[in-house]
Amino acid sequence: MKRIFFRKKGPIVAGLVMLSLLSACGNEDDTASEETTTAWDEIQEEGSLTVATSGTLFPTSYREEGSDELTGFEVEVVRQLGERLELEIEFTELGFDEMLTSVQTGQVDLAANDIEITEDRAENFIFSTPFKYSYGTAIVRSEDLSGIETLEDLEGKKAAGASTSVYMETAREYGAEEVVYDNATNETYLRDVAIGRTDVILNDYYLQTLAIAAFPELDITIHPNLKYSPSEVGVVMNKDNEELAENVNIAIEEMLEDGTIAEISAEFFNGADATEQVDIEE
């Protein structure tokens, strides 16, 4: 009886051990497979990139009057980027401050809205290769330049803009009173300066020049003497999405080399090539 018992038990035990080993191997394979799946893999599988932009920042991201079609310099750069990566582009319209939060939390894959590359932001996000270079200017009232001659004269003035923009940081640095809007249109910002509700808008040279040209009836101008803070702009990605950034950079560098972005710049910046680096005396 004992011999029969042990002969039966041996194969059963061996079989259980083999099943256990096979099961363990299967779990290891599954775990390994899960661990090698990246954000870039998921993006490719879905076939689309979700992109945060404002839809209210002329000429970077806006709608032509009477049109529902989103367009603008960075909107079209991103569309071309999608073509080169063979991905559909899905835009999500957000306020400036909310864009960076959405990138950080993974709600969107990247943000494109004239977002400058700074040391602080580079610690928390990945920026693409820069594709726009500019510098800061100030929109003021034409009649008296809003009482501003130098940046030091910003103290006590009402500066309009997005709270986390580098331009509002400059305004705060010089003692201006911060006036923040919730994803307002350019017309709202500009009209408030013209009627004295605010005093100044600090922003990018190209954006300011075209914004003023769009509303010639307003008594505002670009300050003739204020040029500061040379800037670089790229699209913004989550710090962990290194593979996405690598592929985005390959496409952007191709677009810079073959002149695609320069052509888009000329279309939206009145013939100017914003891909050329600038040198100003601060």
Asked if the structure places residue 17 within a domain, the reply is: no
What's the number of domains the chain is made of?
A: 2
CA distance linking residue 65 with residue 53, whole number of Å: 18
**Looking at residue 94, which CATH number applies to its domain?**
3.40.190.10
Q: Is the peptide bond before 59 cis (omega within 30 degrees of 0)?
A: yes
Residues 203 and 83 in one domain: no
Asked if the structure places residue 252 within a domain, the reply is: yes
Model confidence, pTM: 0.74
Residues 152 and 226 in one domain: yes
Asked if the structure places residue 251 within a domain, the reply is: yes
Residues 177 and 259 in one domain: no
Asked if the structure places residue 114 within a domain, the reply is: yes
* Domain of 256, in residue numbers: 40-131+234-268
Residues 74 and 199 in one domain: no
Q: What is the pLDDT along the chain (282 residues), one digit of tens a residue?
A: 433 433 444 444 444 444 444 444 455 555 544 567 888 999 999 999 999 999 998 899 999 888 999 999 999 999 999 999 999 999 999 988 899 999 999 999 999 999 999 999 999 999 999 999 999 999 999 999 999 999 999 999 999 988 888 899 999 999 999 999 877 888 999 999 999 999 999 999 998 998 899 899 999 999 999 999 999 999 999 999 999 999 999 999 999 999 999 999 999 999 999 999 987 765
